[in-house]
Structures are given as C-alpha cells and as structure tokens.
Amino acid sequence: MEREKELVRICDLKEKEVINICDCKRLGCVSDVVINCETGCVSALIVPGPGRFCFFLGRDTEYVIPWCCVEQIGRDIILVRVDVEKVLVKCEW
C-alpha cells in the first residue's frame, strides 16, 4: 500500500517559523508564497527581512527562499538550506 503524501495549506505555512540549517538562525515566519502560474507549483517562500531600525521603521527587504531550498517541513518549523546574502532582496512593493 502506497503511503499518502502529506498535504500542507498555505495558511498552515504562514504559522511556521523558518530556520536556516546552515547557521541555525531563525529567519522569521512565512508571510507569502510565490506560485508558478504555468505549473501551479510553489516556487518560493517569502519571509520578511530584518527591520531597518530596531523594527520601528518597517522593513524594506525580504527573504525569497526558493522551494528547492526547503529541506523539511515540520509541525512548527520549516528547515531551509540557504545563503542568506543571496536570498535577501529589496522589497518590490
């Protein structure tokens, strides 16, 4: 009997904290996802970047983590393997 794949909803992803296993640092919680409209697959996770000044003035960067960098999705956390400098980008909005 083939084991069923576990399904995860986008709203469930937004409740999970993202941890980079390269340096064991917390990046934050998922705020959005990027979906490829042609394939219907998730392409990347979006996590807000660090605040500008003690988190008072908002954020102007975000982590765009390619789906292929997601190592494991657990009950409370998502483990990723990324080079933080490469996935930290200026917000486009």
- Distance between CA atoms of residues 40 and 50, nearest Å: 30
Contacts 24+ apart (CB under 8 A), 42-49: 42/67, 43/67, 45/13, 45/18, 45/70, 45/78, 45/80, 47/18, 49/88, 49/91
Q: Residue 25: what pLDDT?
A: 95
- Distance between CA atoms of residues 67 and 69, nearest Å: 5
Q: Residue 19: what pLDDT?
A: 98
Q: Is 22 within 8 Å of 33 (Cβ atoms)?
A: no
Return the structure tokens found at 68. 């292929």
What confidence tens digit (pLDDT) does each residue in 30-88 have?
A: 999 999 999 999 999 999 988 655 555 556 899 999 999 999 999 999 999 999 999 99
* Higher-confidence position of 4 and 85: 85
Verdict on whether the full-model pTM lies above 0.85: no
Q: pLDDT-based confidence at 6, cuts 50/70/90? A: confident
